Structure 1
Amino acid sequence: KTQTIGDIIETVNDISERTHLLALNAAIEAAAAGESGRSFAVMASEMKLLADQAKAATGQVRGILGEIHRGINTSVMLTEEAVKRAAAGKTRSDTTQRTIEEITAKVEEGAQVFQQIVTSTNQQQLGIEQVMQALHGIRQASQQTAAGTRQVETASANITQLAQSLMALAERYRH
């Protein structure tokens, strides 16, 4: 979706560049028309202003998209790290489970076996805490991505409104 938004931004940027050229040509024609082209010169000035605003807005949206891309990349890296930690936690959990089964079979060995159970349980607790920390990091990255998406939606709405204004202005000058 961010690629699609990027394509839309390129289209709006192209429209603003073309509008800018049209405004420049209109200003030249207005100057050539002399006194009778004065109102046309005002229109050309407004078209140039709108084109500049559209170009500035596309630059802002590009910046926001860049932030979103960075947020997504960070989120992916955090997710990969969380998966690795979860796999390590599973391995530790499996190891703990096997150890506990062996300890249960050898209960008569006494205090030494009891100490192994305590050690294994501590390792499992550390693994679970690491997984919880990784999940917390994923949640924060997801919240940042959601905030970035809302910013892109706002910027897209602004670009759409600006494009509609440009189209209305262009339509008005066609007639």
Structure 2
Amino acid sequence: MIVMSGVTVGALNLNNQVGVYITLILPIAVSCIYFDKKLTLFATGVQIIITIVTNYPRITTNPFYSDDPIGNYIAVTAGQFIETFILAVIFIWIAKRTRNILNKLTNSEKQSLVYINQLQDIMNRSKNASETLSTSVKQLLQAIEQTTISNENINHNADYASIGCEQNLRYIENANTTVTNISVALESISTKTQTLSEISQDTSAATEENEKIINQAISYMEEIELSTKQNKNIINSLSLRSEEIGRIMEIITGITEQTNLLALNAAIESARAGEHGKGFAVVAGEIKQLAEKSSTAAKDISNLISQIREDTTKSVNSIDQSSVTIKSGIDLVKNVGRSFEKLKKLQETSNQEIQEITKSSNQTSKYGREISEIISNTKSITSKSLNQIQSIASDTSVQSTVMQEILSSFNVIDHTADDLLNLSKSVSL
């Protein structure tokens, strides 16, 4: 930039019509901007060289210096050299002075920057501390609010618990009365159960006696069934004999018919014999009468046998029906016997259960007395708990009041922390 300004000044210096003497200091003035002594000396040298080079054509071609161009050139150049040297000294002094001032300003600025950095660090720390304090205060406020809410809830819960304890106390008193009544009822049940156990034992003995009677009845019914079967067999044998007699009577009837036929033939033959056959005819007549009587007797016997067969059949049917009835009776008696056996087993089971119930009733009565004692103790403990809960409710109420005061104090601290934080932010900005 200095060389370019020097070249520009030199170019202008070549023109006689342009007055550029004042512009000769332009390179030096430009170098002075940088406040550098060496740069100012370099600009002075450049300016002197340009002045020496450009003054020669400017002066030698100028009619004003035509009488002695070389002398004028030397004189003008020497004057400009002196001026340039003086200006260089002045500008170097100005640059040095300005440089010292700038150095002092720079040092002061650096020191100020250090102070500013320290202050900025303090502000940052103060800001961080303010933010931390603000955050902590807000968190503490939230914790206090939560604690206050919790205390209020505890207070409400303590009130509810107090009411619940009072209700439980009433319930326990009612339960104590109820358990006492239950204990009395259980003792009565135990006594009645003992009586029922004795009755059950008597019933079991009667059931065993009835079972013996049923077994005897079954034995008698089985003997009757056996006798009925024997009678049936006898009647069946009699029926078979009647059938045999019937067949014999059929033979006799056949013989009688043959006898009648022979008597008829004898009568016919005696009629043919005439007088000689009269005696034979009488015999034939007697034989016929005997045959007719035999036939009549055979018919009567046959009718009687038929009647006996019918009666035998009816007897067999009746015996069969009796056998069925007897068998049904035996089955019924056996079923009754089995029912009595089941009843006996049930009675035994019932007796065992009653004995167990008696034991359980006695044990339950004992438990009832123990429960009554437990309820009495629970009543005492509940009364103490009620007093403690009421005391807790009172303490919680006081604590809630204290927490409200602490909350108010921390609200003030929170506002102070916010103000400090805002101040730190404004100082940082």
TM-score (norm. length: structure 2):
0.28
- Please report how far the alpha carbon of residue 53 of structure 1 lies from its aligned counterpart in structure 2 after TM superposition: 0.6
Cα distance in 2 for partners of 1:85, 1:42 equals 63
The structural deviation recorded for 1:50 is 1.4
- Report if the CA contact (8 A) 2:218-2:330 is conserved: yes
Match of 1:143 in 2: 311
Measure the CA separation in 1 of the matches of 2:224 and 2:336: 23
Does 1:127 find its partner at 2:291? no
Q: Is the 8 A contact 2:266 2:284 kept in 1?
A: no
CA contact (8 A) 1:100 1:117 kept: yes
Counterpart for residue 324 of structure 2: 156
Aligned-pair CA distance for 1:160? 0.7
Mean CA deviation greater in 108-117 or 89-98: 108-117
Residues 75 and 142 of structure 1 are in contact (CA less than 8 Å); yes or no, is this contact kept in structure 2?
no
DSSP 3-state at the match of 2:324: helix
Amino acid at match of 1:76: L
Which of residues 228, 235, 241 in structure 2 aligns to 1:64?
A: 228
Residue identity opposite 2:321 in structure 1: E
Return the match for 2:243 from 55, 69, 79.
Answer: 79
2:216 partner letter: D
1:151 Cα shift? Answer: 4.6
Change (3 A) 1:72 1:158: closer
Structure 2: distance between partners of 1:91 and 1:59: 48
Q: Matches of 2:245 and 2:225 in 1, distance apart?
A: 30
What is the aligned residue count? 142
2:136 is matched with none
Residue 214 of structure 2 contacts residue 337 of structure 2 at CA under 8 Å; is this kept in 1?
no
- State which drifts further: 56-65 or 125-134: 125-134
Percent identity, aligned pairs only, is 7
Answer yes or no: is the 8 Å Cα contact 2:259–2:288 preserved in 1. no
Compared CA separation, residues 80 and 130, structure 1 to 2 (3 A): farther
Distance 1:137 1:73 in 2: 17
Q: How does 1:90-109 map to 2 (within 5 A)?
A: 90-101=254-265, 103-104=267-268, 107-109=271-273
- TM superposition shift of 1:87: 0.3
Of the candidates 184, 206, 214, which is equivalent to residue 50 of structure 1? 214
Q: Which residue of 1 aligns with 2:252?
A: 88
Residue of 76, 94, 114 corresponding to 2:281: 114
CA contact (8 A) 1:54 1:159 kept: no
User: Shift of residue 168 of structure 1?
Assistant: 5.3
Any idea what SS the aligned residue of 2:230 has? helix
Per-residue deviation, residues 76-134 of structure 1 (Å, max 9, x unmatched):
22331232132023023124314424543663323345324412312322321331342
Provide Cα deviations, 1:26-78, integer angstroms capped at 9, x if missing partner: xxxxxxxx966553333232222212111101212322332232233233223
Q: Which moved more, 1:52-61 or 1:95-104?
A: 95-104
**Bigger mean CA deviation after superposition, 100-109 or 77-86:** 100-109
Larger Rg: 2
Query: Are 2:256 and 2:294, in contact at CA under 8 Å, matched by a contact in 1?
Result: yes
Q: Give the residue type in structure 1 aligned to 2:338.
A: A
Q: For residue 167 of structure 1, what is the aligned residue in structure 2? A: 335
Distance (whole Å) between structure 1 residues aligned to residue 241 and residue 282 of structure 2: 38
Whole-angstrom distance in 1 between the partners of 2:225 and 2:259: 50
1:168, 1:59 → 2: CA distance? 18
State the Cα RMSD in Å.
3.3
